[in-house]
Structure 1
Amino acid sequence: MKNNGLEDVIAAETRLSDVDGEAGRLVIRGVSLDLLVERATYEDAAALLLDGFLERPVTAADLKARLGQARAEVFAHIHTADAALLNLPPVDAMRALIARLPDGEDFETTLRLLAAPAVFLPAVLRLQKGETPVAPTPSLSQSADILAMLDASLPTREQVSALDAYLVTISDHGLNASTFASRVVASTGAGLTSSVLAAISALKGPLHGGAPGPVLDMLDAIGSEDSARTWLGQALDRGERLMGFGHRIYRVRDPRADALKGALAPLVMTGQVDRNRIRLAEAVEQAALAILRERKPDRPLDVNVEFYTALLLDALKFPRAAFTGVFAIGRTVGWIAHAREQALEGRLIRPRSVYIGPLPQAA
């Protein structure tokens, strides 16, 4: 069926982000991604996305202060994490804790939802290792506090900047599956907590947010720069997808890949990441691009956001099983902004389907 995945179907008008797949350009509320990553913290990007969609103005300074308080408040829910919850994958445990938060559409609800995944994911990861959760430090920025709660120590300036760059880079990206799910729920009049839960449920699917971890599995399997081309060719011979390459929208290089590669550079320069790992990744990148051009000349397959996401989050000591949860920390602000835009300016989303089953007479 034509457009069975809704390709090229316009389902919403938005002021939030523009994804130009032909040009390889991402614009977030009028600011190009490269400029935003260079100059913005997480709080800056969140204020940019949210301002005008809530009952009060949103500034980065106010958001930093209020988010610190919100992280301290939601930390109280950690005591409800029982053994059954901790047996779940990290993103599912995080989602279950978020589901216990009250619903609403105001600034206070927004603060709780921005704070919740940032607090719950590090706490769940520590509890699953048998360690005590680290309470938030309200005076820290969102990125600094996430890393402090994860590792029980203050992060370096380069680590905070790297996580800021990641959270900014993936804060919004058009009408992807999870964002569309958020808008559909918002269009019914449900609250922001419901929209965020729907979005996380869409994100955890392997076709949407589940690919960064396997990039590291691929690098582990390749092992050395000399083995890259042979391993990649054999993988293609088996009909396997090369993880971290190709995108549903982009027909050229994903601009988010370069943003994250740039964010890794200070960690490499200061010795906070394994240089051999980065050299291997760069060799795999070049070998993969060459072999994809040879094998699939009619298909534009280039590096996507997942490739350098995996390297960056690994360098920041997040376990692979948590990568989808970290993505949710960054994308929650985009989900909320879209939900509010839909609630304020849209209608109930109710597309039609085409029935292709048997007619009554045939049945």
Structure 2
Amino acid sequence: MKSGLDDVVAAETQLSDVDGAAGRLIIRGVSLDDLVATSRYEGVAALLLGGLFQEDFDARRLEMLLGAARVALFSHVEAADPTLLALPPVDAMRALMARVADGDDLATAVTLMAASAVFLPAVLRLKRGEQAIQPDAALSQAADILRMMNGVAPTPEQTAGLDAYLVTISDHGLNASTFASRVIASTHAGLTSSVLAALSALKGPLHGGAPGPVLDMLDAVGSPDRARTWLAHELDRGERLMGFGHRIYRVRDPRADALKAALKPIIDGGQVDAERIALAEAVEVAALALLKERKPDRPLETNVEFYTALLLDALGFLRESFTGVFAIGRTVGWIAHAREQILEGRLIRPQSRYVGPMPKAA
């Protein structure tokens, strides 16, 4: 028995491959670097979902379907009453997504991909006492998310930054939330059930909840000259340094570099606080040096969470919404794995080993 199922192969997939030793992520035969350089969200969605439904479609067709679905879903925002809005953003978003009828077809998939994109910005605005903004079907998914959240048209650099993020985190092997999606899909419960299960797994702090604390760390450090002292104190206390180390990657997380590159045009355009970026760079340098000194036998490099926090903060997302934004990008991966499980897999039913007491002999 392997606790955590480390190294246990539970599925064969054509969707993504994570090579932790080489620091490489491949999505349907395309390296992450090439995918970020050439594709927007709709492109990676078409790549991941291609061949998993009866219908043929490309990125342009998906963009049109997503736009129409976002507009159709907006009426559900009326269900966001004070009780729902008192929940954390990801929980409120999940409650609204539960209104999507279960199904296994492309229409259900598109609706779920659009639902997270509509409901999170609406919840964020309603929670701060502002009116939710109706979607614009003519915009891309990334551009419309930013417009619905901030109330103004995003710059091309901002749209490209969010697109890069959504592409980067669209799929990542058989992680906890993706496995949850496949387990539910194996029962043929429907795509909505699979996505809700995956989202429930994602919100756990050991899976998708760490980008926000990266900003908390930067706030606590305060200035570049305090970085090494503050970080050393945290390590002395036995604390983790948020944004460093990964369960799979033994080298630098390739997604970190993709997001760092996506952040640069926003920085160059003066759309983010330069002092904040200088602080983050000082913290990264100090953290990597300290980790190498303190834990020379453990490869602890910058992971996706570090630059996720900086990028989403620069785009105007509140740190308590970061898990929800992650879900917007990962929903397509959850759906693709669910469909692959339905088409090629069987009911997932592992065994357990009983280690409790036995009945007393007569």
What is the TM-score of this pair, normalised by structure 1? 0.99
Name the structure 1 match of 2:289.
290
Q: Is the 8 A contact 1:247 1:301 kept in 2?
A: yes
Does 2:63 match 1:81? no
Is there any run of 5+ residues in structure 2 with no aligned partner, and where? none
CA-CA distance at 1:277 after TM superposition: 0.8
Name the structure 2 match of 1:159.
158
Name the structure 2 match of 1:7.
6
Query: Could you tell me how far apart the structure 2 residues matched to 1:255 and 1:167 are?
Result: 15
What are the superposed Cα offsets for residues 83-108 of structure 1, whole Å, 9 maximum, x if unpaired? Answer: 10000000000000000110000011
Alignment of 1:280-359 (within 5 A): 280-359=279-358
Alignment of 1:138-153 (within 5 A): 138-153=137-152
Is there any run of 5+ residues in structure 1 with no aligned partner, and where? none
SS at match of 2:4: coil
Does 2:47 match 1:48? yes
SS at match of 2:3: coil
SS at match of 1:297: coil
Query: Could you tell me how far apart the structure 1 residues matched to 2:126 and 2:239 are?
Result: 35
Q: Is the 8 A contact 1:50 1:58 kept in 2?
A: no
Name the structure 2 match of 1:137.
136
Name the structure 2 match of 1:236.
235
The percent of aligned pairs where both chains have the same amino acid is 72
- Whichever residue aligns with residue 258 of structure 1, its letter is D
Query: Could you tell me how far apart the structure 2 residues matched to 1:334 and 1:247 are?
Result: 20
Q: Is the 8 A contact 1:123 1:150 kept in 2?
A: yes
What are the superposed Cα offsets for residues 282-322 of structure 1, whole Å, 9 maximum, x if unpaired? Answer: 11101000000100011110000000000000000000000
Name the structure 1 match of 2:194.
195
Q: Is the 8 A contact 1:72 1:135 kept in 2?
A: yes
SS at match of 2:17: strand
SS at match of 2:283: helix
SS at match of 2:348: coil
Could you say what the CA RMSD is over the residues aligned between the two structures, in angstroms? 0.9
Does 2:57 match 1:61? no
- Whichever residue aligns with residue 125 of structure 1, its letter is L
Does 2:249 match 1:257? no
Name the structure 2 match of 1:123.
122
SS at match of 2:26: strand
What is the total number of aligned residue pairs between the two structures?
Answer: 362
- Whichever residue aligns with residue 341 of structure 1, its letter is E
- Whichever residue aligns with residue 133 of structure 1, its letter is A
SS at match of 1:153: coil
Query: Could you tell me how far apart the structure 2 residues matched to 1:112 and 1:271 are?
Result: 35
Query: Could you tell me how far apart the structure 1 residues matched to 2:50 and 2:195 are?
Result: 18
SS at match of 2:335: helix
- Whichever residue aligns with residue 206 of structure 1, its letter is P
The list of structure 1 runs, each at least 4 consecutive aligned residues, that deviate by more than 2 angstroms after superposition, is none
Name the structure 1 match of 2:359.
360
What are the superposed Cα offsets for residues 26-85 of structure 1, whole Å, 9 maximum, x if unpaired? Answer: 000000001100110000000000010011112100001110000000111000111100
CA-CA distance at 1:328 after TM superposition: 0.2
CA-CA distance at 1:361 after TM superposition: 1.9
Q: Is the 8 A contact 1:24 1:254 kept in 2?
A: yes
What is the TM-score of this pair, normalised by structure 2? 0.99
Name the structure 1 match of 2:169.
170
Query: Could you tell me how far apart the structure 2 residues matched to 1:181 and 1:120 are?
Result: 22
Query: Could you tell me how far apart the structure 2 residues matched to 1:307 and 1:361 are?
Result: 54
Query: Could you tell me how far apart the structure 1 residues matched to 2:275 and 2:35 are?
Result: 29
User: Kindly tell me: are residues 361 and 117 of structure 1, through their superposed partners in 2, closer, same or farther at Cα, counting changes over 3 Å?
Assistant: same
- Whichever residue aligns with residue 181 of structure 2, its letter is S
Query: Could you tell me how far apart the structure 1 residues matched to 2:269 and 2:97 are?
Result: 36
Q: Is the 8 A contact 1:210 1:324 kept in 2?
A: yes
SS at match of 1:18: strand
CA-CA distance at 1:3 after TM superposition: 1.4
- Whichever residue aligns with residue 307 of structure 2, its letter is Y
Farther-moved stretch of structure 1 (207-216 vs 353-362) = 353-362
Query: Could you tell me how far apart the structure 2 residues matched to 1:355 and 1:253 are?
Result: 39
SS at match of 2:342: helix
Query: Could you tell me how far apart the structure 2 residues matched to 1:52 and 1:61 are?
Result: 16
Query: Could you tell me how far apart the structure 1 residues matched to 2:180 and 2:56 are?
Result: 26
Name the structure 2 match of 1:225.
224
Farther-moved stretch of structure 1 (351-360 vs 214-223) = 351-360
User: Kindly tell me: are residues 120 and 362 of structure 1, through their superposed partners in 2, closer, same or farther at Cα, counting changes over 3 Å?
Assistant: farther
Query: Could you tell me how far apart the structure 2 residues matched to 1:76 and 1:67 are?
Result: 15
Query: Could you tell me how far apart the structure 1 residues matched to 2:246 and 2:154 are?
Result: 33
What are the superposed Cα offsets for residues 297-350 of structure 1, whole Å, 9 maximum, x if unpaired? Answer: 111100000000000000000000000000000000000000000000000000
- Whichever residue aligns with residue 336 of structure 1, its letter is I
Query: Could you tell me how far apart the structure 2 residues matched to 1:115 and 1:24 are?
Result: 31
Query: Could you tell me how far apart the structure 1 residues matched to 2:310 and 2:2 are?
Result: 34
CA-CA distance at 1:362 after TM superposition: 7.6
Q: Is the 8 A contact 1:254 1:305 kept in 2?
A: yes
SS at match of 1:308: helix
CA-CA distance at 1:217 after TM superposition: 0.3
Query: Could you tell me how far apart the structure 1 residues matched to 2:20 and 2:109 are?
Result: 30
CA-CA distance at 1:276 after TM superposition: 1.1
Does 2:239 match 1:214? no
- Whichever residue aligns with residue 3 of structure 1, its letter is K
